[in-house]
Amino acid sequence: MNPLALERPSRWRAFGVAGVFALALLPSFPLLREAASGQRGLGTFPATLWQSFGLATASAALGFAAGLPLGVTAALYSFPGRRALLALASLPLLVPSLLWAVGWSALLARVAPGPLPGAAACVVVFATTAIPLVLLTAWASTAALGAGQVEAARLAGGEAVLVRSACRHAAVPALLAAGLAGVLVLSDPAPGQIFGQRTAAAEILVSFAALFDFGLAARQGLALAALVLVLAAPLAAVAAPRLAAAVLPRAIRPLRPVWHREMAALAAGGLLVFVGIGVAAPLAGLALPALRGTALARAGSEVVETLGNTAIYGLGAGALAAVLGLLLAALAGRSSRLRTAVLALSFLLLALPSALPSLGLLRWSGEVPAALAPVFHSRFTVCVALGLRFLPVATLLALRGWASTSPTWAWAAELHGVSLGRYLARVLAPRLAPAVATGLVLVGLLSAADVGTVLLLHPPGQRSLPLAIFTVMANAPEALVASLCLLYVVGAGALLAALPWLAGRRL
């Protein structure tokens, strides 16, 4: 096999892409059989699902309204502390929403005259995650503009025309990001449980863990998945072609953010407001009780106890997602149709509720032969479920890395008689390493922050740190819970700061 095999179109590429996504969906298949058997019915779940849809819509609307202008102005203008503010603004994406909910709950208990309604509190927490997702999407879309386009808009009408034009350009990607944020809200059970608001994701966990009704949980999970797919399919159809074009490199003069006193002050002020409300306020709610007494010391021992499992779950899931994402990028190759199909399927996979594969794996664990039972009741199963869950993140980065390579490299390698193994090791591996490493780190952080999958699949005594917080927050002292949350946020922030060094600065 020679290096040109990586560039030639072939039917096996489409079959390979279908096989990888079938593997990602395989753990969910047992739910179809489970939902079809036994007594049918959803009880009060449709009403709960409608409430969750309202929370998702409100969170997505807030994310779009605030994230679009923040991302556009941050990409166009330079100001002191720009990189640090963008990093702080993206921190909520890598931390469980559970922690922000705990922080807001502790803060509101001290400063609010009365309890905040559960629905409003949930929207605040969910918007804390939706705004950074829209912000980073709008920033990336605006940063992809050419310097000539920006200069032409500036000459046509000044900064006001430039910002309006850039907002129109980034509106569609930002709207897609807001839609994805709303879809992900439907799969998040933690804020609703903390603020006493019934949500669809929490109802599924209650049906399985409290009522021990696996069939009901399966039917509820499939009903939630049906709603998610109805909402996500149009978004995927619109987003995939745009993303497929966006991952391709462009030979244009890149945009450079410029200094403009008024606009820089506006951009910096907007980011400061969000960081203050969305990050600093809940952190203050965590710090106030955490700094009292010996809570931090006790939390430190809990962190040490769960740190190994948290790292194993994150690194295992990141490695699996990085390998499969790179495989999907290689299978898609130079075909625009396959790239579009991969991105559309990735969008739908990311939108599916995390409870589906977890419940499916649990059902399989009770039916496999005794020789395979230790595999299904191990940390390996948790890593597989998390890696398949966040495979789309690694796939998007791998597609961008593969698009930065040139097909002429394979032609040159073939001309000089370079073997495929040597071509992969000496040419492609150094080029793709930053994208693969970034995918591994990001998927690792997202997997380490997951609660639902680990809650359902973790072996006895093998908790992660977020799961430890989730399981003890109802009975442990407030200071201990706040200390655990605060230490997790500090650790995630340190990893986020080290991400450029861990993944390589060339990306």
CB contact at 8 A, 53 and 186? yes
Q: Give residue 144's domain range.
A: 36-284
138 assigned to some structural domain: yes
Residues 274 and 368 in one domain: no
Q: How far is CA 154 from CA 9, 78, 160, 171, 363, in A?
A: 43, 16, 8, 19, 60
Residues 335 and 459 in one domain: yes
432 assigned to some structural domain: yes
CB contact at 8 A, 70 and 131? yes
Provide CB contacts within 8 A for 145, sequence distance 6+.
166, 169, 255
Q: Which residues of the chain have pLDDT under 50?
A: 251, 505-507
- Say how far apart CA 241 and CA 212 lie, in whole Å: 43
**In the prediction, which pLDDT does 1 show?**
66
Residues 268 and 306 in one domain: no
pTM: 0.82
183 assigned to some structural domain: yes
Length of the chain: 507
Domain boundary among 259, 284, 309: 284
Place of tokens 């100001």: 79
- The number of helices, as runs of H, and strands, as runs of E, in the chain is 24, 0
Residues 236 and 356 in one domain: no
**In the prediction, which pLDDT does 319 show?**
93
DSSP for 196-263, written as a single string? T---HHHHHHHHHHTS--HHHHHHHHHHHHHHHHHHHHHHHHHHHHHHHHHTS---SPBP--B--HHH
Residues 375 and 434 in one domain: yes
Domain boundary among 251, 284, 317: 284
42 assigned to some structural domain: yes
29 assigned to some structural domain: no
Which letter, b or e, does each residue of 201-221 get, where b requires 16 or more Cβ atoms within 10 Å of its Cβ?
Answer: bbbbbbbbeeeebbbbbbbbb
**In the prediction, which pLDDT does 36 show?**
63
22 assigned to some structural domain: no
**In the prediction, which pLDDT does 401 show?**
85
Residues 79 and 114 in one domain: yes
Residues 218 and 250 in one domain: yes
Q: What are the tens digits of pLDDT across the range 237-276?
A: 777 776 666 666 554 566 788 888 888 898 899 999 999 9
Instruction: Tell me the CATH number at 55.
Output: 1.10.3720.10
**In the prediction, which pLDDT does 248 show?**
61
Domain boundary among 230, 258, 284: 284
Residues 326 and 246 in one domain: no
Residues 150 and 210 in one domain: yes
Question: What's the domain count of the chain?
Answer: 2
Distance separating the N- and C-terminal Cα atoms of the chain: 30
Residues 345 and 237 in one domain: no
- Say how far apart CA 179 and CA 185 lie, in whole Å: 10
122 assigned to some structural domain: yes
Residues 279 and 309 in one domain: no
Residues 235 and 301 in one domain: no
3 assigned to some structural domain: no
**In the prediction, which pLDDT does 506 show?**
43
